[in-house]
Amino acid sequence: MQRIARLKESPSQTAGPYVHIGMLPNFAGIDGVFDEDLGARMIVGEAKGERITIRGRVFDGVGAALKDVLLEVWQADAQGLFPSQEGADPAFTGWGRQAADMDTGEFAFETVKPGPVPFRDGRLMAPHVSLWIVARGINLGLQTRIYFADEDEANASDPILSRIEHRDRIPTLLAEPKGDGTYRFDIRLQGENETIFFDF
Amino acid sequence: MNAFKQKQAVLQTPGGHDRPGGGLYARDRSWHPAALTPAYKTSVTRSPTRAPISFPTTLGEETGPVFTRDRLGPLDADLVHNFARSPDGAIGPRIVVQGRVLDEDGRGVPHTLVEVWQANAGGRYRHKKEGYLAPLDPDFGGCGRCLTDEAGRYEFRTIQPGPYPWPNGPNDWRPAHIHFSVFGQSWGQRLITQMYFDGDPMIWRCPIVGTIPSPEGIESLVARLDMEATIPMDARVYRFDIVLRGRRQTLFENRMEGL
């Protein structure tokens, strides 16, 4: 029988404990090689929309915060447009990269609240931020989404949230508003209240 | 009508945003390492126990950040010199790592960002959390980056990293390796992996390498020595191709101005 000549994706490997050397060298203390760490700023001008900060920590299966984790986010602008789309906000990059604090494990993204983006069939998805997590001990980057707990109506009709069978797990994807423009989003890799991760 | 409902009404016009057949080829999770691989001890408490929930890709997974050449410095892809105070550069076996970033259909992935990091020739990383007794090289930082060209080709100049002991088993050593981070053209293609060196006996003893289920998968991360491309009296060349997920179709051509 003939074979289909398709290549296999390169297998993933852990980012390891020293991921910052390559991806956030200035944060790692390697000065003078790159002018600025990529992804450090998502707002690069007078960005439209509501400025927010998403803060959180990533916990392992015994409840310890990861202090060597690196996170990236990708999201639409306040109008629901990605940077590759016509009319997207030029003052907003849509992409951010942050390491957890090496002492506390706390991370923070300063961004804008995203507008809703269409699902494949035209229904709107609720405002969300895509989040990718890599670290020592994580063999394949973990994909999740940050939704907003103050978007009840939009969340209730979100096509992705709607397909989650175990409804009691949905709160693990909701960032809690703190009232000062800050949202809290903690991630639990394993065990009780384990965060939902996605495969797409 | 609030903004959400207004937009929903507009988008639900017939035909407007429905894209059957689009998206990325499904990731073969039996080819990648599992999350829980106990011989690599840190994975034991950092691996989810619930299955990931799948959904068809949407705009957010089919787009991704675009980087442009104006963000890069002239020495970004030259690890021998980009941290060095001496014009002679870093100490160690001089090598060039070159290859292509391809998708599963064998197409070159152009203009995509490739980032690398590695230890120095003695296996020592320049990182505050690292305490291996092998010394730092004052002329070696260990980070580099470049964009692939039109055909998906990339190239780094560096020194061959040394093997490195780590606290996993009582006598575990990483094979010589270079970490790679690749973006591709969409968020769903994002990948981090490691490159190993042809003939290194440590490869087949390493619990991190061993997280990859098949020998074929492991071999696909082993760079080949290319003597024909090697630069005489200067640097040996290792060839390392990286394959990202294929795509059924492209919704947008990424615009060329970047972040």
Q: What is the pLDDT of residues A105-120, one digit of tens each?
A: 999 999 999 999 999 8
Q: Is A91 on the interface with B (CB under 8 A)?
A: no
- Yes or no, beta carbons of B47 and A137 under 8 Å apart: yes
- Yes or no, beta carbons of B125 and A18 under 8 Å apart: yes
User: Which of A84, A165, A197 should be substituted to probe chain B, the one whose Cβ sees the most B Cβ atoms within 10 Å?
Assistant: A84
Nearest to B114 by CA among B127, B92, B99, B95: B99
Q: pLDDT for B213-245, tens place per residue?
A: 999 999 999 999 999 999 999 999 999 999 999
Number of Cβ pairs < 8 A linking chain A and chain B: 296
Nearest to A120 by CA among B16, B146, B253, B116: B16
The yes-or-no verdict on residue B257 having pLDDT over 50 is no
Domain A37-188 sits in CATH at: 2.60.130.10
Chain B nearest-CA distance from A178, in A, is 23
- Could you confirm whether B127 is annotated as catalytic? no
Q: Is the pTM above the cut of 0.90?
A: yes
Longest CA–CA span in chain B (Å) reads: 72
* DSSP code for B132: -
Neighbours of B14 (CB within 10 A): 6
Q: Is A124 on the interface with B (CB under 8 A)?
A: yes
Q: What is the predicted pLDDT for the residue at B254?
A: 45
- Could you confirm whether B132 is annotated as catalytic? no
Distance of CA A116 to the CA centre of its chain: 16
Cα distance between residue B73 and residue B91, in whole Å: 22
- Catalytic option among B174, B196, B245, B247: B174
What pairing do the DSSP bridges indicate for beta strands B236-239 and B94-103? parallel
CB B155 within 8 A of CB B146: yes
The mean pLDDT of B130-139, rounded to a whole number, is 95
- Residue A162 makes CB contacts below 8 A (sequence gap 6+) with none
Domain ranges of chain A: 37-188
ipTM value? 0.97
Distance of CA B124 to the CA centre of its chain: 20
Q: For B33-44+71-243, give the CATH class.
A: mainly beta
Gyration radius of chain A's alpha carbons: 18
Q: pLDDT for B201-210, tens place per residue?
A: 999 999 999 9
Q: What is the predicted pLDDT for the residue at B249?
A: 61
Q: pLDDT for A54-65, tens place per residue?
A: 999 999 999 999
More confidently predicted of B22 and A74? A74
**Tokens for B106?**
């064998």
Model confidence at A84, pLDDT cuts 50, 70, 90, reads confident
Q: Is A72 on the interface with B (CB under 8 A)?
A: yes
The mean pLDDT of B113-136, rounded to a whole number, is 96
When the pLDDT of each residue in chain B is averaged and rounded to a whole number, the result is 90
- Catalytic option among B100, B111, B124, B177: B177
- Could you confirm whether B177 is annotated as catalytic? yes
Chain A nearest-CA distance from B94, in A, is 19
Q: What is the predicted pLDDT for the residue at B13?
A: 32
Domain ranges of chain B: 33-44+71-243
- Yes or no, beta carbons of A38 and B71 under 8 Å apart: yes
Q: pLDDT for A36-50, tens place per residue?
A: 999 999 999 999 999
- Catalytic option among B40, B154, B164, B238: B164
Model confidence at B18, pLDDT cuts 50, 70, 90, reads very low
Chain B hits for A196, Cβ within 8 Å? 50, 53
